[in-house]
Amino acid sequence: MTYLTVMAVAYLLGAIPTSYLVVYLVTGRDIRSLGNGNPGMMNVWDNVGLKPALVVALGDVGKGMAAVGFAYWMGLGDGMAVLAAFAAVLGHDYSIFLRFDGGNGTAATVGAMIALVPAATLPALAVAAIIVTIKRSKRIAGVIGLLLVPTLAAFQSYPLIIVAGVIGLLLIVAIKIVRFEGFTPVRSRPPR
C-alpha cells in the first residue's frame, strides 16, 4: 500500500499544471494557445516573460523534488525514489488536470535530479547558466547541462540504480522533446 501511495502522490504532484495556472493568472490565457503550444516553462519564457517563467520553473522543479523527497520520507529506498521521480515526470507530461497533456518534463526532471543526485545536478546547472549567459542559447545550455548530470553522478559514485534512473529520466525528456518539436529548435503546433 505504501508503494501505491507514493506513486499516486508523485504522479499528482507532477500533474499540477504550473505553467497553465501561472499564465492564466498573469494573462487570462491558456499557455497551450501561445507560442508552440507546449505547456512548459520555455514556452512561458518565450511568450509571457522571464518572471512568470521563473515562477513556473520553481513550481515544476519543486514537483520533482517533492516526489523524490516524499518517497524517502516514507522510508523507501533509492529504487522507489527513482520510480517516484518517473511518476512525477509522467504526471507533468500527461497531467490528468490538462486531459493528459503537458510539458516535456525538463524542469520536473531537474527537480527530481536535484533530490536524487544534488552534487551532480547543481554543478551541471551552474554550467548551463554560464552557457546561457555566454552563448544566449537555452537549448544548447539545457542539453549540455542535462548530459553532465549522469556523467558527474557516475564519477561521484552514486548508486548504480540512481545513475540508471537519471539516464532513464533524461531519455523520457528527450523522447518527449523530439516527439513534440522534432529535431529542429522550434516547431509550432496548431493552437487549441
Domain assignments of the chain as residue spans, ordered by start: 2-181
- CA distances (Å), origin 6, targets 23, 90, 148: 29, 14, 28
User: Vertex 42, ends 170 and 115: CA angle to 5°?
Assistant: 45
| 101: β partners | 95
Task: Give me the mean pLDDT over the 139-162 stretch.
Answer: 87
Percentage above 70 pLDDT, the chain: 93
pLDDT of residue 148: 86
pTM attached to this predicted model: 0.85
Angstrom distance (rounded) from CA 55 to CA 46: 14
Task: Give me the mean pLDDT over the 46-68 stretch.
Answer: 94
Angstrom distance (rounded) from CA 90 to CA 173: 10
Give me the chain's average pLDDT, please. Answer: 88
Pick the most confident of 10-14, 34-38, 138-142. Answer: 10-14
Q: How many residues does the chain have?
A: 192
And the C-alpha cell for 90?
Answer: 509522467
pLDDT of residue 73: 96
DSSP 80: H
Where residue 49 falls (left for φ over 0; alpha for ψ -120 to 50; beta otherwise) is left
Kindly report which listed range (16-20, 34-38, 157-161, 186-190) carries the lowest average pLDDT score: 186-190
pLDDT of residue 35: 86
| Choice between 184 and 162, residue whose per-residue pLDDT is larger | 162
